[in-house]
Structure 1
Amino acid sequence: MTRDIIISLLSEVISVSENDLAGQTPLTPEYDIEPIDIAKWMMEIEKRFEITIHDEDVHTFQTVNDVVKYVDGLIAE
C-alpha cells in the first residue's frame, strides 16, 4: 500500500504513468526525475503520511524502493 501511494505521488510530480514506474525505478535524470522533482515528491510524501523526511536521508535514496522502505520505517515508529 505504501509503495502504491508513493508511486502514485511520483507519477503526479513527473507526469509519467504509474504503469511506467516500479520499485526498482532509479531516481536519476535519465528517468526524467530531476532534483526539483525529488524535492516536490518528498514534500507530497511528507504531507500524505504526516512524517518528516530529513534532507540528509534524501541523498541516500537510489530507487523508489529505497523511499518506500524509509517511509515504512518512519510509519512503524
Structure 2
Amino acid sequence: FALSLVDSNILLPTEIDSIVKLRKALKEDISFTIFKNTNKRKLQSLNYITESMGGDTSKFISNFLKLCYNAEIIDIEEQKN
C-alpha cells in the first residue's frame, strides 16, 4: 500500500518488500536531499520574536522542532547551532 503513495516521478527499485527498504530508497532520492537542505536553510533564517514583541513562543518551538525533524537534525548540539 505504501508504494502506491509514492510520487510517480520517484523511481524505486523493484525489490522493495519492506517499509525499511522503502524508507532507505526514498532517502536516496535527490528530492529528499533537496527537502532536507531546504529545511536546514529555513532553520538558519528562523528568528525568535518574544511574546512581548508580538511573537508566539509555542508556534516558534513547534516550527523549530518540525524543521529539525525534516532536516534530520537530532543531535542537541547541532540544534543549538
Bucket of the pairwise TM-score, normalised by the shorter protein: 0.3 to 0.5
Decide which structure has the larger Cα Rg and report it: 2
TM-score by length of 1: 0.33
Higher relative contact order (CA 8 A, sep 6+): 1
